[in-house]
Amino acid sequence: MIPKPTGTLVPIRTRAEIRAALQTVNCYIIPIPAKAANELILALRDVVPLHELQHLRRLSRPAFIPVAVAANLPPTQFPPEQSILYILICTTDKAPIQQIVDVAAKISPFQRKHGRRITPKPQVSIITVPANMPTSQEQSDLWSKKYWPVVYKRGNPFGPHPSLVENTQMKLTRAHEYMEIAWKVAHEVADIGIGHRCGAVVVNPDTGDVIAAAGDARSRTNESGWCYPLAHPVMRLVEMVAQKRLKRGEVVSPNNPITPLTETERKYLNSESMESLDGREAQKEAQKAAQKEDQKEAQKESKTDGTSEDASPPMANYLCHNMHIYLTHEPCVMCSMALLHSRVGIVVFQHRMVNSGALVSEFDGGLGHGLFWRPDLNWKYLTWQWQNDTPHTRNEVPDNISA
Ligand SMILES: [Zn+2]
């Protein structure tokens, strides 16, 4: 008996998130007795911009500075009994270091006092910090240990808002069940020798019903001996949805009938699972809001990003509007764009395809396309990787294949 697969859903990061996380800047810090911190901040305010770097703590006790960073700072010249704070000033491109030193030198701790043997000098140091806000608590904790104490404000200008991801993920309670069907159809097509061992499932998010299941069929030949190399699971899945819509009397073109090739494909193609595909107002609104935010950020960030198409045609014209897709393998560029053009709501895939997959954003060991959520695309969908380790779901598809 095949064991029931269990696993974990891991949200996929967007390209912008990956890029933002890699950017760092150099900035000035200076140690100062705690009681003089305000005096210095007021003096600096007139000279350098102190409103930047809001994702970093302006003041830090020496104990909260990461050990590796502290090791490169000179020992402070203040007596040990004085409570010291480090002030994060601004990025190094905003002012020359001498200007910071000159401003600091005018405040009281650095003025000569009667009876004091040594007058401390301002010790301005340069450290490297993350240039952008963290997009998760984990990232914030990591950066605080590596660079400088970080402030995490729940939000993500580089991808879907954390609450949208979390709320949607909480509802994906049947992921294991749908992945199992995707694997069933994958095994069927591979066992009869018509395609690679990969499969796809589309689910009606309102009812939880499986609308269609499709396996890979690129090796299947017709009467003339021709095969169809573009018969990837996703392409066949979208065709099946079109066919079911045709049965409902909707106008979908071209009218190109698709033949179910396995028992599982037949079962779902003949099922009545196309009902109540509308009425997902809550989800529509959530996605709309997230996309609006994202577009605003994109416009702020760059004016060269092209234009986002805002005035969308009626959603009923899109084959898989807001549907949920479960895939055994990360889809290729063609299939990822087909999902985007069909306006799917979410995608869950299991195996990464490092040479052909178009969803994962990391450049190391992947193509880095991140095609599910980019400001230059006119639709976005949420994407997760399904991670599990069940023998019958191991990857048997060669690396050079597009899924
Ligand atoms: Zn494909």
CATH at residue 329: 3.40.140.10
Ligand 1 centre to CA of 360 (Å) is: 14
How many angstroms from the chain centroid is the CA of residue 319? 25
Ligand 1 centre to CA of 397 (Å) is: 13
Same domain, 41 and 84: yes
Confidence (pLDDT) at 51: 86
Ligand 1 centre to CA of 369 (Å) is: 14
Same domain, 209 and 266: yes
Query: Phi, psi at residue 148, to the nearest 5°?
Result: -175, 150
Ordered alpha helix ranges (H), 63-193: 67-70, 97-105, 137-146, 162-171, 175-191
| Assigned domain for 142 exists | no
Strand 382-387 with 346-351, pairing: parallel
- First-to-last alpha carbon distance for the chain, in angstroms, is 28
Same domain, 171 and 246: yes
pTM for this one?
A: 0.81
Same domain, 112 and 240: no
Q: How far is residue 148's CA from residue 235's CA, in Å, rounded to a whole number?
A: 48
Ligand 1 centre to CA of 229 (Å) is: 10
Ligand 1 centre to CA of 395 (Å) is: 16
Ligand 1 centre to CA of 19 (Å) is: 26
Ligand 1 centre to CA of 128 (Å) is: 42
Strand 8-11 with 199-203, pairing: unpaired
Of 82, 108, 131, which one is at a domain's C-terminal end? 131
Ligand 1 centre to CA of 282 (Å) is: 30
Same domain, 183 and 121: no
Ligand 1 centre to CA of 186 (Å) is: 14
Of 84, 105, 131, which one is at a domain's C-terminal end? 131
Nearest to 355 by CA among 364, 363, 367, 371: 367
**The pair of three-digit structure tokens given for residue 220, joined into one six-digit string:** 């299947």
Same domain, 31 and 107: yes
Ligand 1 centre to CA of 256 (Å) is: 19
Ligand 1 centre to CA of 236 (Å) is: 10
Same domain, 179 and 104: no
Q: How far is residue 335's CA from residue 16's CA, in Å, rounded to a whole number?
A: 21
Ligand 1 centre to CA of 370 (Å) is: 15
Low-confidence ranges of the chain (pLDDT < 50): 276, 278-282, 301-313
Are 198 and 179 contacting, i.e. CB atoms less than 8 angstroms apart? no
Of 86, 109, 131, which one is at a domain's C-terminal end? 131
Ligand 1 centre to CA of 168 (Å) is: 25
Ligand 1 centre to CA of 331 (Å) is: 5
Which residues fall within 8 angstroms of residue 16, CB to CB, at 6 or more apart?
Answer: 158, 159, 374, 375
Same domain, 29 and 112: yes
Ligand 1 centre to CA of 402 (Å) is: 5
Same domain, 116 and 171: no
Distances, alpha carbon 164 to alpha carbons 32, 133, 362, in Å: 42, 18, 22
| DSSP notation for 37-75 | HHHHHHHHHTTS--SS-TTB-SEE-GGGS-HHHHTTSPP
Domain limits at 182? 8-14+165-278+311-393
Ligand 1 centre to CA of 335 (Å) is: 4
Same domain, 53 and 177: no
Number of domains in the chain: 2
Confidence (pLDDT) at 285: 55
Confidence (pLDDT) at 310: 43
Nearest to 119 by CA among 130, 129, 127, 108: 108
Ligand 1 centre to CA of 337 (Å) is: 9
Confidence (pLDDT) at 312: 45
How many angstroms from the chain centroid is the CA of residue 398? 26
Q: Which long-range contacts link 184-187 to residues 24+ away (Cβ below 8 Å)?
A: 184/213, 184/264, 185/213, 185/214, 185/215, 185/233, 185/262, 185/264, 185/265, 186/215, 186/216, 186/233, 186/328, 187/392
| Assigned domain for 102 exists | yes
Same domain, 367 and 269: yes
| Assigned domain for 1 exists | no
| Assigned domain for 144 exists | no
Ligand 1 centre to CA of 232 (Å) is: 5
Q: How far is residue 16's CA from residue 305's CA, in Å, rounded to a whole number?
A: 12
| Assigned domain for 206 exists | yes
| Assigned domain for 243 exists | yes
| Assigned domain for 138 exists | no
Ligand 1 centre to CA of 303 (Å) is: 32
Q: Bin 198: left if φ > 0, else alpha if -120 < ψ < 50, else beta.
A: beta
| Assigned domain for 298 exists | no
Same domain, 255 and 377: yes
Ligand 1 centre to CA of 339 (Å) is: 10
